[in-house]
């Protein structure tokens, strides 16, 4: 005989899942223990949202969902924020929620809540196994739906009565492990149409998206770019699919490239707010779009694509690269398109470089990131969140490897940073023990999940947390101005909503664990702290960098968010 706890734990193991992230409690205490007994690796978090952020990031890095375990009612409610983020980001994650005993439903059971119905809008599949014997079938289906097609979140509801139900082993449904998702190959006629459009283009541009990173398309994407000399732009988490340091990367001329391109090839990138919907004023009104996406429903979204190819990114990109090479097409590096891009990129690079040379205290963003970039390993995984911290950081902190940047993503979610960093550290532990994870946080963003430092200590994860501290959300005030504001009246009336306490010593959190953090105000402080932290391999490090509270990004031609004209 086996009970539902044992059946669930063994079903997860049989599907090849490795990690469980969560917070245990009634009614999943025995389930957590059963998971460890079955050989799963369990990490307890301090907040369910952070656990879900970690699980989905691990799914993105490995293409295999990790598990989130939460208690009933409020526990699942906290997780739903993470489920929504995974669904919008298209990352696989499997959520298991304990729930009220079935014989207590409808009469006010402990933490009773309609959990399947509540989860359904935020995931691809939500179900409650009707009996413990059927748990393996639902686990296999959940894994399959989380990973097949466009990846996303799935939810299984586990009432206390289901988990304690005993079943004869002969009655338990036997299910084979879910095979890897099948590849979808492109229509060769559409590849020819795409090639013809690119060959006729005067100002072609490739945009490499997060879908190309998830789809392991780095080899064909690099082949395409290298063999044709076509300029490319990465989206924030498309960075590294083709190296940021490659001379064909035109990130420094992003606005110009988008505005003046006449044919745009999208490799796993969506024309959502991050790419200004593919519409004027950011794009020409007559721009021709070639779209390659795994999800058919994404095709022609926002604008009508000239060529829309439904396929996995890697095989489609390989086919297109081979076709273009066969046609001996190459963008003229001495032609007007490349000259204009190079001129604009060089102008912007000079502007950023000039700002990064200003080492006066308090420091600005560009100086801070330039000197972090100078010291950090070139192959580290960068996790980043926070408004200016994330946006400016992505332009200076470079990635030359795919899936080595994790940030707020399509949903723009704050609070993901430390959870993402924990997932990345586990990925490194299993696959590249010497690789480092650097988590670059705004001070506001850090506040969402700061106590996950304790989780990092408990599991000996050597994440380097760098807080770019400007005393606020977007910006704040210096200590004297903040003191005067607070003294001028009721703090709830006089303290601006964007303001946080000035010069908070977040690094002192490390003292709770018998370690020392780093408080930095100068370039020398930053470089020394990072060098010391890179030597620590058994626990997290925390570097608190004070910058000018009024520091901002360089002047932009456009606001970063395209506003509706309706």
Mean pLDDT of 454-480: 97
Mean pLDDT of 190-209: 98
Would you place residue 341 in the very low, low, confident or very high pLDDT band (cuts 50, 70, 90)? Answer: very high
Crossing angle for the helix pair 336-356 and 365-375, to the nearest 10 degrees: 100
Q: What is the pLDDT of residue 556?
A: 54
Q: What is the pLDDT of residue 560?
A: 60
Read off φ and ψ for residue 492, nearest 5 degrees: -70, -15
Between the CA of residue 10 and those of 36, 177, 350, 373, what are the distances in Å? 10, 12, 58, 44
> How would you classify the pairing of strands 541-546 and 464-469?
parallel
- Please give the structure tokens belonging to residue 469: 């501290």
Would you place residue 76 in the very low, low, confident or very high pLDDT band (cuts 50, 70, 90)? Answer: very high
Q: 397-451: per-residue pLDDT in tens?
A: 999 999 999 999 999 999 999 999 999 999 999 999 999 999 999 999 999 999 9
Sequence-separated (6 or more) residues with CB below 8 Å from residue 304 = none
Asked if pLDDT for residue 491 goes beyond 60, the answer is yes
Q: 358-404: per-residue pLDDT in tens?
A: 999 999 999 999 999 999 999 999 999 998 999 999 999 999 999 99
Q: What is the pLDDT of residue 563?
A: 67
Sequence-separated (6 or more) residues with CB below 8 Å from residue 280 = none
Rounded CA-CA distance 558/97 in Å is: 44
- Please give the structure tokens belonging to residue 529: 């702290």
Fold of 188-343: Rossmann fold (3.40.50)
Would you place residue 561 in the very low, low, confident or very high pLDDT band (cuts 50, 70, 90)? Answer: confident
Distance of CA 165 to the CA centre of its chain: 38
The DSSP secondary structure of 22-89, one letter per residue, reads E---TTSHHHHHHHHHTT-EEEE-SSHHHHHHHHHHHHHHHSS--EEEE-TTHHHHHHHHHHHHHHHH
Question: What CATH architecture does domain 358-546 belong to?
Answer: 3-Layer(aba) Sandwich (3.40)
Rounded CA-CA distance 175/230 in Å is: 47
How many Cα atoms occupy the beta-carbon half-sphere of 364 within 13 Å?
17
Mean pLDDT of 37-48: 98
Could you give the percent of the chain with pLDDT greater than 70? 98
Mean pLDDT of 180-199: 98
Q: Is 519 left (phi over 0), alpha (psi -120 to 50) or beta?
A: beta
Q: What is the DSSP letter of 167?
A: E
Q: Which CATH superfamily is domain 2-171 in?
A: Thiamin diphosphate (ThDP)-binding fold, Pyr/PP domains (3.40.50.970)
Q: What is the pLDDT of residue 562?
A: 74
Q: What is the DSSP letter of 473?
A: B
- Please give the structure tokens belonging to residue 494: 């006089």
- Residue 178 host element (H or E): none
The domains of the chain are located at 2-171, 188-343, 358-546
Q: What is the pLDDT of residue 554?
A: 65
Q: Is cis: bond before 382, omega within 30 of 0?
A: no
Would you place residue 564 in the very low, low, confident or very high pLDDT band (cuts 50, 70, 90)? Answer: low
Cβ atoms 544, 505 nearer than 8 A? yes
As a whole number of angstroms, the longest Cα–Cα distance in the chain is 76
Asked if pLDDT for residue 555 goes beyond 80, the answer is no
pTM for this model (two decimals): 0.97
Q: Is 474 left (phi over 0), alpha (psi -120 to 50) or beta?
A: left
Asked if pLDDT for residue 558 goes beyond 90, the answer is no
- Please give the structure tokens belonging to residue 556: 């932009």
- Please give the structure tokens belonging to residue 545: 């960098």
Rounded CA-CA distance 205/207 in Å is: 7
- Please give the structure tokens belonging to residue 4: 């539902």
Q: What is the pLDDT of residue 443?
A: 97
Would you place residue 552 in the very low, low, confident or very high pLDDT band (cuts 50, 70, 90)? Answer: confident
Sequence-separated (6 or more) residues with CB below 8 Å from residue 63 = 92, 147, 151, 214, 216
Sequence-separated (6 or more) residues with CB below 8 Å from residue 535 = none
Domains 2-171 and 358-546 agree in fold: yes
Residue 164 β-bridge partners: none
Starting at the edge strand found earlier in the chain, the sheet holding 153-159 runs 41-44, 19-22, 67-70, 93-99, 153-159, 125-127
Cβ atoms 324, 290 nearer than 8 A? no
Residue 257 β-bridge partners: none
Could you give the percent of the chain with pLDDT greater than 90? 97
Sequence-separated (6 or more) residues with CB below 8 Å from residue 481 = 502
Residue-averaged pLDDT of the chain = 96
Rounded CA-CA distance 119/391 in Å is: 31
Read off φ and ψ for residue 336, nearest 5 degrees: -65, -35
Q: State whether residue 83 is helix, strand or coil.
A: helix
Residue 43 β-bridge partners: 21
Q: Is cis: bond before 470, omega within 30 of 0?
A: no
Distance of CA 100 to the CA centre of its chain: 33
Q: Which of 2-16, 150-164, 541-555 has the lowest mean pLDDT?
A: 541-555
Rounded CA-CA distance 393/367 in Å is: 11
Q: What is the pLDDT of residue 111?
A: 95
Mean pLDDT of 549-555: 79
Residues found in the chain: 566
Mean pLDDT of 38-44: 98
Cβ atoms 11, 139 nearer than 8 A? yes
Q: What is the pLDDT of residue 277?
A: 96
């Amino acid at each position: 005989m086996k009970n539902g706890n044992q059946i669930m734990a063994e079903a997860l193991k049989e599907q090849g899942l490795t990690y469980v992230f969560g917070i245990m409690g009634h009614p999943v205490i025995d389930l957590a223990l059963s998971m460890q007994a079955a050989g799963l690796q369990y990490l307890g978090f301090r907040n369910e949202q952070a656990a879900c952020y970690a699980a989905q990031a691990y799914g993105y890095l490995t293409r295999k969902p990790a598990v989130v375990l939460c208690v009933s009612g409020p526990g699942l409610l906290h997780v739903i924020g993470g489920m929504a983020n995974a669904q919008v980001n298209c990352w696989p994650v499997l959520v298991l929620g304990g729930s009220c005993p079935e014989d207590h439903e409808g009469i006010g059971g402990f933490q009773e809540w309609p959990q399947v119905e509540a989860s359904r809008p935020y995931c691809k599949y939500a179900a409650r196994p009707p009996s413990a014997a059927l748990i393996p079938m639902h686990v296999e289906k959940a894994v399959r739906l989380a990973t097949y097609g466009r990846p996303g979140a799935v939810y299984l509801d586990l009432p206390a009565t289901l988990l304690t139900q005993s079943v004869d082993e002969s009655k338990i449904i036997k299910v084979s492990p879910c095979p890897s998702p099948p590849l979808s190959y492109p229509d060769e006629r559409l590849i020819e149409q795409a090639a013809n459009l690119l060959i006729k283009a005067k100002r072609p541009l490739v945009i490499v998206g997060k879908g190309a990173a998830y789809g392991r398309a780095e080899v064909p994407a690099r082949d395409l770019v290298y063999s044709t000399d076509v300029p490319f732009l990465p989206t924030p988490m498309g960075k590294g699919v083709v190296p940021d340091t490659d001379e064909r990367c035109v990130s420094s001329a992003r606005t110009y490239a988008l505005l003046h391109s006449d044919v745009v090839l999208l490799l796993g990138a969506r024309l959502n707010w991050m790419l200004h919907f593919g519409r004027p004023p950011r794009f020409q009104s007559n721009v021709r779009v070639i779209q390659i996406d795994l999800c058919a429903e994404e095709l022609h979204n926002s604008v009508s694509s000239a060529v829309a190819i439904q396929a996995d990114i890697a095989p489609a990109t390989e086919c297109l690269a081979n076709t273009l090479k066969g046609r001996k097409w190459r963008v003229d590096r001495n032609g007007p398109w490349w000259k204009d891009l190079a001129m604009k990129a060089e102008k912007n690079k000079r502007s950023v470089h000039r700002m990064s040379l200003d080492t006066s205290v308090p420091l600005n963003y560009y100086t801070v990131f330039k000197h972090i970039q100078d010291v950090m390993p070139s192959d580290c995984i960068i996790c980043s969140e926070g408004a200016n911290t994330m946006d400016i950081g992505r332009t200076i902190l470079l990635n030359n490897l795919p899936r080595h940047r994790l940030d707020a993503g399509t949903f723009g979610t704050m609070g993901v940073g430390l959870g993402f960093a924990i997932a990345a550290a586990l990925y490194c532990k299993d696959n590249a023990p010497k690789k480092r994870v650097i988590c670059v946080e705004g001070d506001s963003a850090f506040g969402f999940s700061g106590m996950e430092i304790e989780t990092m200590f408990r599991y000996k994860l050597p994440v380097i947390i760098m807080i770019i501290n400007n005393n606020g959300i977007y910006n704040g005030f210096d200590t004297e101005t903040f003191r005067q504001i607070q003294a001028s009246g009721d703090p709830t009336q006089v303290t601006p909503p964007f303001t946080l306490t000035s010069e908070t010593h977040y690094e002192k959190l490390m003292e709770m664990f018998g370690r020392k953090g780093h408080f930095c105000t100068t370039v020398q402080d930053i470089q020394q702290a990072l060098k010391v932290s890179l030597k620590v391999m058994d626990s997290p490090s925390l570097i608190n960098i004070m910058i000018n509270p009024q520091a901002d990004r360089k002047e932009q031609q456009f606001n970063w968010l395209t506003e509706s004209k309706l």
